Structure formats: C-alpha cells, structure tokens
Amino acid sequence: MSIATQHVLQVRDKIELSDIERRIFDRLLATVRHFNLQTQVRVAGGWVRDKLLAKDCYDIDIALDNMMGTEFVNKVKEYLVSIGEGKDVHDKGKIKPNPPRSKHLETAMMRWFDMKIDFVNLRSEEYTENSRIPSKQSFGTPEVDAYRRDLTINSLFYNIHTDSVEDFTKRGISDLKSGRIVTPLPPKATFLDDPLRVLRAIRFGVRFEFTLDEDLKVAAACGDVKDALAAKISKERIGTEVDLMLSGNQPVKALTHICDLTLFWNVFSLPSEFEPAIPDGCERLCIAYLDTAWNLIHLLKDSTFKDRERRLSLFAALFLPLKNITYQVKKAKMVLHLHQASQKFLSLIPCLASNEDLQPDDVDWIRGLIDDVSIASRVRVLTGFLLRELKGLWRVALLLSILLHPIGINNTEDESSQLHKRRDLFNTVESSIIELGLDKVWEVKPISGEDIMNVLQLEEGPLVKEWKEKSMAWQLANPSRTTEECIDWLRETNSKRVKLE
C-alpha cells in the first residue's frame, strides 16, 4: 500500500470534538453572543489537520476576523467570570509581533481545561518592493490568511459557528489525502515571508511521511532563502525546530533533508572564528553518526534512554565529527561536555569490557587521582569519578564512546552486524558499571571541605580541593568502608607526607 493510499484511508470527512473541545467552543460562541460581537471565530492550522487525521491535539489556535487576540481574551474572561467559571481559565499573557524576525502577529495565550489556546487575528499584509517585512498590516479575510500560511495542510480552518472545515486554498484537504507538502503561495514567497517555514516543511513531511513538493525543494535550497534564514530567524527558533525533529519519529530522515537541500551549515552555523577548518563533506559524516546512534538506541532496551537522554544522545552524535573544533558558544556547552566525557570513556572501555586492570599509562586524564589506589581498584575509581561528573547522563556519554570505539570488522560484515557488535559492547560495559556498584555513584556523600580543613589543620585553598579528590578516590576504592575510616586514612596519609617532607 502506498503512502498516499494510507492517508486517503485516514483522513476524516468531519471533525469529531471531544467533550472539552465542545465546551470550550460553546463558551467562545456564548462570549460572542453575550457581547453582541460581529466576530467570526475559527480554529486554524495544526489542530484542524490533526483532528482530520484522527490524532489528539492539545494546542488550539483561534483566528479572529475583526478583533485582536488580547481584546477577545479579555471578553472571554469577563464572560466566564459572569457565569462563575473564571477560575477555570489561566491568562498566559501575550507575545508581541517582531516583523524583522518573521513574527508578524500579536498572540494572546491562555490555559483552559488543560488545553493551550492562542488567539490571533486574521491578517492581510502589504510589502515594499525589496522587502518581505510588511509595510502595512490590517485585518484580513480567512482566504487571504490561508494563503499566507506555511503549508496547505496547515491552512485549513474549522468554523465553530457552522461546525465545518473550510479549505480556502482548495487543496488543503486533497494534499492531506495524497500526502504532499506544498505551500499555498509560490514556495519562495512563502519562505521569504518566514524562512523558518523551510524547516517546518521538512519536519511535517517527515512526521507524516509526506512527500516534499519539487518546487518547494528548489526554493528551499536557493540562495535568497538561505540568506534570509540566517538573517531573519533567531537561533532559538531554529533550535526549537531541530529539537522537534530530533524528538520525532524519523530524525535521520529530517536531517538528511536538511543536508540534501544544502541547508546544513545555515541551520548549524558555527561562530565566525573556529579552528581547525571543517573538511568538505563533513555534514554527511555528521548524518552518518546520527544514523548509527539512532539505530543503536533502538537496538538497546527501551528503558535505557529517557526522552531527554535520547535527544541529547542524538544531538551529541550529530556533532561528533566536530568534537575537535575549538570555538566559544554557550549553547553547545552540554554537547561539548558530553564529547569530552566520551573521550574519557574511550580509555576505560577496554578494561570495563574485559575486567582487566588499568595501567597508569592507559589514560591521560588521571591527574594523580589513583596515586594512592591499588591497581585492582583503578578502574572503579576512574569510572566513579567520570560518572560523578556525568550523573544521570553517563549512558549518553557511553553511547558516544561506543560510536567512536574501533570494533573488529571483517570484509564480510554488513552494517547490521557492526551495529550489533556496538550494541553488545554497550551492554557489556553497562553491566560492568552496574556490577561495580557505580550506576548511582554520584549519590555517594563526599568528605566535606570543612571536615578536611579541621582534620588536616588546613586553610581554605587548592590543597583542600586536592585532598577532597584524594578522599573521594579512597571512598571509591573502598566502597564498604565507613566515613570515619576515610578520615582516619586522611590523617595517616597526611602524617606520612609531613614526615617525608
């Protein structure tokens, strides 16, 4: 069965409202009647699309034909108070328009019966010849507004007065049924209006397994649209779209679309100064790491990664080819931290996978942590320090290190066999960590700096930090010993060093 046929079977002819949706819409209509407003109230966009696809949706976008959203929300609240239901609604304020950043509408927001509801006005815009920033905005008709939206499948309205779906572009429903991602206006004009729509088109195409229109792909890859994406859209908005892609059902396909449309370095732009230079084709390597991480996560137990951990794993895997790039950017701090931690894990994997003892020359990040530790305890101590640094994200760093770890591959092995080898190595190392009792090691209470200063008669300074690390190394090497015994060891060790001096 083709994708198009599947969607023909899934698209409903009529929207079926839940009890809560019916109650909300009844109150909106009652508000119109109570204040004798000449306002048509419609639901726009994603809610309509999802309801026709028989999917749950908890975000409702209300479009008004002759009122601003804030003005109408105030009327709704006033009406609800008058009938004793004011406590059921929570005002969430408003978002002001920002045309230079392609945010054209003021949006009033409220929370009502656990539903997130946004109120905006239908819009009509005029542009100067050389700009996509509106020079004039006014209330528009639903038809004009429909053509200003990102995709035909998102341009549908549900008229709550008539309980009917309105398809002003005359192709929203047909594109939904045939599984096509198309813009209402010529795609270049739609994308220049709001360049973020390029990423939205990709995300919705992947989410619903729809086909991207060929003209849309040509427009998305053109220089004007790429320049506008860089100039007009904030990193936060781009990041939100990418986050939704990586949280979705086909992140690899979504990022492959971005790569195919030559948008990768527009979406993931690095600061102006970085080193060394990025090799040609690096973006394809990024996608390959993402693909391996995605497949490896699916091979592992469903409970291995929670949603946040899975998303971080995919982000960090995507940027593994850039792990040696040096630059300053706060937003990448977590990814950079995971990359650094995965390099440390790499040096421990052979011992954790084989239960062999660790030799001092096997790692380059010891920093004297195991000077006073027996050879048999070194792996536990260093792994413990690393997991205390990572806490609940240690499996994410382990996954990255497994991606980087060389595995024995012969010429007859396919990708699936290689992937299963990495899965088995992950499980072996994970089991070793659990057997060592380190899976919650960050909960071990360290000897406090104050206790160390009192016991060793020290003043606050670098030496206290050094002794804190040494005491934690002792605790990790001697998990069955008590805090009092650790303090005795501190006294004895310090006394020996003083005598040697």
Range 103-126 average pLDDT: 79
Of the candidates 158, 179, 200, which is a domain's last residue? 179
- Rounded distance, CA 304 to CA 91, Å? 39
Q: Residue 157: which domain range?
A: 1-179
- Asked, for residue 117, whether it belongs to a domain, the answer is yes
From CA 173, how far away is CA 162, in angstroms rounded?
Answer: 18
- Residue 89 and residue 34 in contact, taking contact as beta carbons nearer than 8 Å: no
In this structure, is residue 57 part of a structural domain? yes
Residues 366 and 495 in one domain: no
With 50 as the cut, is the pLDDT of residue 422 above it?
Answer: yes
Which string of DSSP letters, residue by residue, matches 77-91?
HHHHHHTT-GGGEEE
Q: Are residues 400 and 372 in the same domain?
A: yes
97 with 14, same domain: the answer is yes
Residue 235 lies in a domain: no
Inter-CA distances, 67 with 22, 295, 412, Å:
22, 49, 68
Those residues whose C-beta lies under 8 Å from the C-beta of residue 377, and which sit 6 or more positions away, are 370, 476, 477, 478
Single out the residue in 120, 148, 179 at which a domain terminates.
179
Start-to-end C-alpha separation, the chain: 82
If asked whether residues 403 and 492 sit together in one domain, one would say no
Residues 32 and 128 grouped into a single domain: yes
Q: At 7, is the pLDDT very low, low, confident or very high (cuts 50, 70, 90)?
A: very low
Does an H or E element contain 297, and which?
helix 282-299
Same domain, 460 and 429: no
Averaged pLDDT for residues 485-497? 87
Provide the percentage of residues in the chain whose pLDDT is more than 70.
85
Q: Within 10 A of 453 (CB to CB), how many other CB atoms are there?
A: 16
Alpha-carbon distance of 185 to 123, in angstroms, equals 15
Give the rounded percent of residues in the chain with a pLDDT score beyond 90.
Answer: 63
For residue 208, how far is the Cα from the chain centroid?
Answer: 19
Residue 163 covered by a domain? yes
Instruction: Examine the domain organization and report whether 340 and 480 are in the same domain.
Output: no
Angle subtended at Cα 366 by Cα 361 and Cα 370, rounded to the nearest 5 degrees: 90
Residues 477, 396 within the same domain: no
107: part of which helix (H) or strand (E)?
strand 107-112
Residue 498 placed within a domain: yes
Residues across the chain: 501
**Is the Cβ–Cβ distance between 35 and 9 less than 8 Å?**
no
Query: What's the average model confidence in pLDDT over 399-423?
Result: 87
Nearest to 405 by CA among 357, 358, 352, 345: 345
295 occurs within a structural domain: no
**Rounded CA separation 396/339 (Å):** 10
Q: Is the dihedral of CA 423, 424, 427, 428 positive or negative?
A: negative
Q: What is the pLDDT of residue 101?
A: 40
Residues 6+ apart with CB under 8 A from 250: 206, 207, 209
Residue that finishes a domain, picked among 394, 414, 443: 443
The yes-or-no verdict on residue 339 having pLDDT over 50 is yes
* Residue 356 binned pLDDT confidence (cut-offs 50, 70, 90): confident
Return the closest-CA partner of residue 154 out of 82, 85, 204: 204
147-176 pLDDT, tens digit each: 999 999 999 999 999 999 999 999 999 999
For residues 32 and 162, state if they share a domain.
yes
Query: pTM, whole model, 2 decimals?
Result: 0.85
Tokens 């060790």 locate to 493
Q: Do 360 and 421 fall within a single domain?
A: yes
Distances (CA, A) of 362 to 2, 113, 186, 338, 347: 54, 59, 60, 21, 7
Domains identified in the chain, total number: 3
Q: Is residue 438 domain-shared with residue 494, that is, in the same domain?
A: no
User: Three-state SS for 254?
Assistant: helix
Residue 241 has pLDDT above 70, yes or no: yes
DSSP state of 83: T
Q: What pLDDT shows up at residue 100?
A: 43
pLDDT above 50: residue 127: no
Do 319 and 344 form a contact (C-beta atoms < 8 A)? no
What torsion, rounded to 10 degrees, do the Cα atoms 247, 252, 253, 256 define?
120
401 CB-near residues (< 8 Å, 6+ apart): 342, 343, 345, 346, 349
One domain, residues 386 and 317? yes
Query: Would you say residue 449 lies in a domain?
Result: yes
Domain membership flag for residue 189? no
